[in-house]
Amino acid sequence: MARADLVLLHAPSVYDFRKESILYGPVSDLVPSTPVFEMYPIGLTTIAEYLERHGFRVRIINLAVRMLNSDRFEAEKLIQKLEPVAFGIDLHWMPHAHGAIEVARLCKKHHPGIPVMFGGFSSTYYHEELIRRPEVDYVVRGDSTEVPVLKLMQHLSGQPEAPTLPEIPNLTWQDADGQVQDNEISYSPENLDHVLIDYSYVVKAVARYRDLASVLPFKGWLGYPITAALSVRGCTHGCRTCGGSASAFAALHNRRRPAYRAPEHLAQDIRNIARFSKGPVFILGDIRQAGEEYTDRFLRSIRGFQGPVILELFRDADREFIRRVAEAMPNWTLEISLESHSEEVRRAFGRPFKNGPTEDTMRYALELGVKRLDIFFMIGLPKQDYQSVMDTVDYCRYLMTEVDRGPDRRLIPFISPLAPFLDPGSPVFENPERYGYRFFARSLEEHRQALVQPSWKYVLNYETQWMNRDQIVASTYEAGLRLNRLKAEFGVVSQAQADQTEARILRAQRLMAQVDDIVSIADAERRVKLLRAIKPQVDDANLSTVCDKAELNVPMRGITLNLPRTASLFIEQVLRRLAPKPKETW
C-alpha cells in the first residue's frame, strides 16, 4: 500500500467513548454526526488536495468513524503501523479537545521522532497552550492553512530551498531553547480560488489506500451521502456565541473581510459532487453575503441543476430572491436559523431581524415550491429564560398553522441547546459579563477535562444570567417533549416515531437525575462503578435525544452513490495528475 507523507487524523470527541459512561444529551441532534463528532472539517480535504497537487501524498484517517463502526477497531494499533513524515490532527471545534490530544499522545508514544502538527479554529485560539504540551510540535494557525502546511511539509521533508521555520507563515513552534515562537498570520487569502472543494481527493484516496472506511465523513454516510460546498471562509455577521463571527475571524485569523469562493467555481463544485453522489449538497454560508453581483453570478451558473441542494439564510429574503433560487435549483431545501421567537432575544444574540419579514420569507419559499423548510431555534441565548423557551415552542405552533397552511407540511421546526461549549473567541466568551454569561471552563485543559464529565449538564461550559445549567437542561427536555408532540399533531412525524422520541426524552430525563445522584456520592470508586453499571442505558439514550436525527434528512430516492462514475472520476484524476501543474502565485 502507498505510504503517505502526511497522515491527517480525525479524533473522536472523547477518545475513550467506547469505555466511558457519558450522557451526551442532545449535543449533536441537529448535525449529521453522533455525539462522538466523527465528522471531520472540510479543511482536511482541502489541505490534502492542495498538498497532493504539490507532490505530497496525504492520507486522511477518520479514527472517530472507524471506532464508531467497529468495537474491534484498535486506533492505537493503526497509529503504531503508520510511518509518515508528519502527523496532522484537527482541533477545529472544542468538542475534540479530549480526543485530539489523546491521539497526539499515541502518535508520540509510538513515533517520538515524527512531528505532530495541530490546526483548526480552536488550535489557533489555544496555540500557546497547545505548543507547550509534549504531544505537539507545531500549530498551524489561521482559517486557511493549505499554504502554511505545504511549506511546513517542504521544511520537514528537507526539500532543497525549503523555507526555514521562522519563514513559515501562521506557524507556532518552539526554538532550540524551548522558546515559543509565533510567526505572524500573514497568510490569509482574499478568496478561495486556490482550493478545490469537490471531493475528488477523497475519491482518489479511497482507491490508492484501498480504504473507504477511513474517509467516511460520518456514521451512516453511505446511506445518506450529504456533502458540503463551501461558499466562504469568514462571515459578515456577529452572532454572540459564534467562533466563526466577523470579530472572531478578525482577532484570531487576521481576516478583515470574508474570503469567497468564486460563484462560478462554487456552482462547478456542486456539479462535480453530483457526478459521484446523488445526496444533497449543503451550501455553507448565505449566498447573499458577498452582495448582489455574487448572488446573480452564482444563480446564473447553477441554473438548471436538478440535484438536491440545501441553502442557509442568515436573515430574511425578498420574494424575488426566493423566486430566482426556485428557478435555478428546483430541488431546493431552505434552512433558516431564527434562534428565538422573541425579537428581543434574537437582537441580544446579534441577529437584529424581525419576525414579520422572516415569516414572509417562509411564505414565499412554501409558495414557490421549497422541498423542505427547516427552522432552527436555540436554547442558552442571552435574555432567554425558561418561559421564553416554552414560548418559542408555542411560536412553532403558530408557524405550523399560520405560515405553513399546506397539507404537505414542509415547514419543520427544530430546537436544541447551544452545547456542549460556547466557542472560545466568540464575543460572549471574550466578554462574558457584558452579555450575562458565566463560564466554567476557560483553558483548553479545562475543556478537555469537562468532556469526560458524566452528563452534558456538567460538560456545558457556561450558564447565563437568565438560566443556570439545570434550567438549560430542563428547558431543553421540556421543549423537546412539547415540540415532538406538536410535530405528531401536525403529521410532520408519525405517531409511532413521536412515541419513540417521547420515550427517549423521558428516559434521558430519568438518567440525568440518576447521574446527578451518582455525582453526589463522595466515594470516587463507587461513583465510577455505578456510572459503568448504567453505561448500556446511557449509550442507548445518546442518539437522537430531543428529535429523531432522521428528521433532518432530505428524502432521497434510489441509489445514492454513482459508483461507475466515481471510478471514472478517479481515472480522470490520475490523468490530470500527469498533466502539467498550474503555476502557483503564492
State yes or no: residue 527 binds ligand SF4 (CB under 6 A).
Answer: no
Alpha-carbon distances of 533 from 14, 19, 528, 539, 569, rounded to whole Å:
19, 11, 9, 11, 49
State yes or no: residue 381 binds ligand SF4 (CB under 6 A).
Answer: no
**Least distance CB 376 / ligand SF4 (angstroms):** 10
Q: Whole-angstrom Cα distance, residue 116 to residue 7?
A: 10
Stretch that binds ligand SF4, among 100-108, 150-158, 240-248, 446-454 (CB under 6 A): 240-248
Q: CB-wise, 182 or 335, nearer to ligand SF4?
A: 335
Q: Select the residue interacting with ligand SF4 from 48, 235, 311, 378 (CB under 6 A).
A: 235
Q: CB-wise, 88 or 424, nearer to ligand SF4?
A: 424
Q: Whole-angstrom Cα distance, residue 519 to residue 454?
A: 8
Q: CB-wise, 238 or 432, nearer to ligand SF4?
A: 238
**Least distance CB 527 / ligand SF4 (angstroms):** 37
**Least distance CB 311 / ligand SF4 (angstroms):** 13
Q: Which residue has the cell 427544530?
A: 414
Could you write out the DSSP letters of every residue in 97-117? Answer: HHHHHHHHHHHHHH-TTS-EE
> Is residue 453 within 8 Å of residue 459, measured between CB atoms?
yes
State yes or no: residue 245 binds ligand SF4 (CB under 6 A).
Answer: yes
- SS3 at position 406: coil
**Least distance CB 66 / ligand SF4 (angstroms):** 30
Q: Select the residue interacting with ligand SF4 from 18, 133, 208, 237 (CB under 6 A).
A: 237
Stretch that binds ligand SF4, among 80-88, 233-241, 396-404, 556-564 (CB under 6 A): 233-241
State yes or no: residue 511 binds ligand SF4 (CB under 6 A).
Answer: no
Q: Select the residue interacting with ligand SF4 from 239, 259, 299, 422 (CB under 6 A).
A: 239
Long-range contacts of 65-74 (CB under 8 A, 24+ apart): 65/10, 65/38, 65/213, 65/214, 65/216, 65/217, 65/218, 65/219, 66/213, 66/214, 67/12, 67/17, 67/18, 67/36, 68/12, 68/34, 68/36, 68/38, 68/219, 69/213, 69/216, 69/219, 71/18
> Is residue 549 within 8 Å of residue 29, measured between CB atoms?
yes
State yes or no: residue 242 binds ligand SF4 (CB under 6 A).
Answer: yes
Question: Please, which of residues 301-360 interact with ligand SF4 by CB under 6 A?
Answer: 314
> Is residue 521 within 8 Å of residue 510, measured between CB atoms?
no
Stretch that binds ligand SF4, among 235-243, 325-333, 477-485, 555-563 (CB under 6 A): 235-243
Q: Whole-angstrom Cα distance, residue 400 to residue 489?
A: 10
Stretch that binds ligand SF4, among 56-64, 193-201, 232-240, 374-382 (CB under 6 A): 232-240
Phi and psi based region of residue 409 (left: phi greater than 0; alpha: psi -120 to 50; beta: remaining) = left
State yes or no: residue 244 binds ligand SF4 (CB under 6 A).
Answer: yes
**Least distance CB 108 / ligand SF4 (angstroms):** 34
Binding residues vs ligand SF4 (CB under 6 A): 235, 237-239, 242, 244-245, 314
